[in-house]
Amino acid sequence: MRQWRMVGVVVVMAMVLGACAAKDLPTGYESLRSEVSLVEGSKYIQGLRDQYIVARQRGLITPDQFVLAVKADETLSVAWNRMVAAIRAKNDSAALWAEAIRATSTLENLLVSWIPNYTPVPNKPAVLGK
């Protein structure tokens, strides 16, 4: 019982730390909130990657599942970087966002269905959908 309480405390700490990162834009720079959300989005995707790497190291997913996860992650990282490049050029589009969100969802669904007792990565930014 006490271990589960500790687990809860640790998860809440991680969520609070992530939430703090979004709220401290210096005065006058508040218009960059969506760019901060993108940084959080990339950390969220990194969290998904950490999940399947750890799962493979622990033998919780097979080599074939790992390859499929890498393929989904590769598709996601390409879509994500394409979107970031478009935002940098102030030329992003709904289609690029949709592609990144779809690729994120694909990787999430694989992990949820494969990893036993899957713990979702906290602090999923709103830009990636709920």
Partner 1 sequence: MEIIAIVSLVSAIMALVRTGILSYVEVREVLKKYETLPATPENIEALRLELLASAEMTHAVDDPRIRAILEADGIDPEVLRIA
> Applying CB under 8 A, which residues contact partner 1?
3, 7, 10-11, 13-15, 17-18, 20-22, 24-29, 31-32, 35-36, 38-47, 49-51, 53-58, 60, 63, 66-67, 70-71, 73-78, 80-81, 84, 87-88, 115-119, 121-123
Q: For the CB of residue 128, give the shortest distance to partner 1 in the complex, in Å.
A: 12
Q: For the CB of residue 130, give the shortest distance to partner 1 in the complex, in Å.
A: 18
Cα-Cα-Cα-Cα dihedral sign, residues 87, 89, 91, 95 = negative
Give me the phi and psi of 118, to 5 degrees please: -60, 130
